[in-house]
Amino acid sequence: MALDNPAFSRNSAFSAQGGVAAAQDISAQQLQEMYNQPATPPAGETMAVETTIQKSAAAFGLLVVGAALGWVTTESMPFLWIGAGIVGFVLALVNIFKKEPSPALVLAYAGVQGIFVGGISAWYEAINPGIVAQAVIATLVVVGVTLALFASGKIRASKKATKIFLIAMVGYAVFSLVNFGLMLFNVTDDPFGLRSTPIFGIPLGLILGVFVVIMAAYSLVLDFDFIQQGVRNRAPKKYEWSGVFGIMVTVIWLYLEILRMLAIAQSGD
């Protein structure tokens, strides 16, 4: 069949007189084509939605265990959940910039970040009883609605929306850093900093919070889209952990933002 290709038929190596050379050239051509083709893992070793869900459930289970530990040690060992927040941030950066996903690092992030989430949740609960249950329910609702809309095809990631999302994320990150700096150097003594500033009678934190929840929901769409594309492209199974990590980061971010929104709303009562 190779002789049907004009590129081969014009080559003397494929003539009857060049039998030996033809065999050598065909072999070299085949090797080159094999080298250029992307590696496709065998069946059963590619990404699948079902196993990604199973791994996500395991990671979130570990997160809950860590959260329970952080919750019960908030008063006796406050340094534990504060230190866990720092370690969790470092692990997040390592997982983000690592070329290939590491199950151990993703699970370590889940456990350590769970301690931080449990500790800060207990701190908020001590100030505003009942706020954690409200935040958990609100987070589950946002995740569930986003997943349902994505599964039904009513929302999808797009290049334009993703650009807007990235710009908004950078802007929000800059605002958060500036606000943290003002609070750190006692420029403002309010526990929420600039977020407590009223805009038309509404705390800035509540206004920002609505937009941040929308951004987090779109971030979930990007996570779901990544998993869907990975399954469609038969990506290696190890990249399921990238999907797990992405969903976990987004859900934790969403929960903490909702928790803070509720705290700001109740502080004005």
Position 94, amino acid: V
Highest-pLDDT range among 77-81, 107-111, 154-158: 107-111
Q: Supply the pLDDT for residue 8.
A: 36
pLDDT given for residue 109 in this prediction: 97
Residue 189: predicted pLDDT: 80
CB 118 within 8 A of CB 68: yes
pLDDT at 150: 94
The CA–CA distances, whole Å, from 130 to 26, 134, 137 equal: 73, 7, 11
Instruction: State the sign of the Cα–Cα–Cα–Cα dihedral 26, 29, 31, 37.
Output: negative
pLDDT value for 27: 55
What is the rounded average pLDDT of the residues 97-126? 95
Q: Considering all CA atoms of the chain, what is the largest pairwise distance in Å, rounded to the nearest integer?
A: 95
User: Over the stretch 64-73, which tens digit does the pLDDT of each residue have?
Assistant: 999 999 999 9
Task: Note the pLDDT of residue 18.
Answer: 45
Q: Which residue has the higher pLDDT, 99 or 19?
A: 99
Average pLDDT, the chain: 86
* CA dist., res. 139 & res. 153, Å (int): 21
Contact 150, 224 (CB under 8 A): yes
| pTM for this prediction | 0.81
- 26 closest CA partner among 49, 1, 60: 1
Residue 269: which pLDDT band, with cuts at 50, 70 and 90? low
Question: How sure is the predictor about 36, in pLDDT bands with cuts at 50, 70 and 90?
Answer: low
pLDDT in tens, 121-138: 999 999 999 999 999 999
Q: What pLDDT was estimated at residue 231? A: 93
- 3-state class of 232 per DSSP? helix
| 155-210 pLDDT per residue, tens | 999 999 999 999 999 999 999 999 999 988 888 888 889 898 898 889 999 999 99
Specify whether the CB–CB gap between 66 and 112 falls below 8 A.
Answer: yes
Q: Report the alpha-carbon distance of residue 67 to residue 55 in Å, rounded.
A: 18
pLDDT at 6: 40
List the end-to-end C-alpha distance of the chain, in Å, as a whole number: 80
For 65, 101, 131, 201, the CA distances from 81, given in Å and listed in that order, are: 13, 25, 19, 34
State the Cα–Cα distance between residues 252 and 249, nearest whole angstrom: 5
pLDDT of 221-261, one tens digit each? 999 999 999 999 999 999 999 999 999 999 999 999 999 99
pLDDT score of 148 more than 60: yes
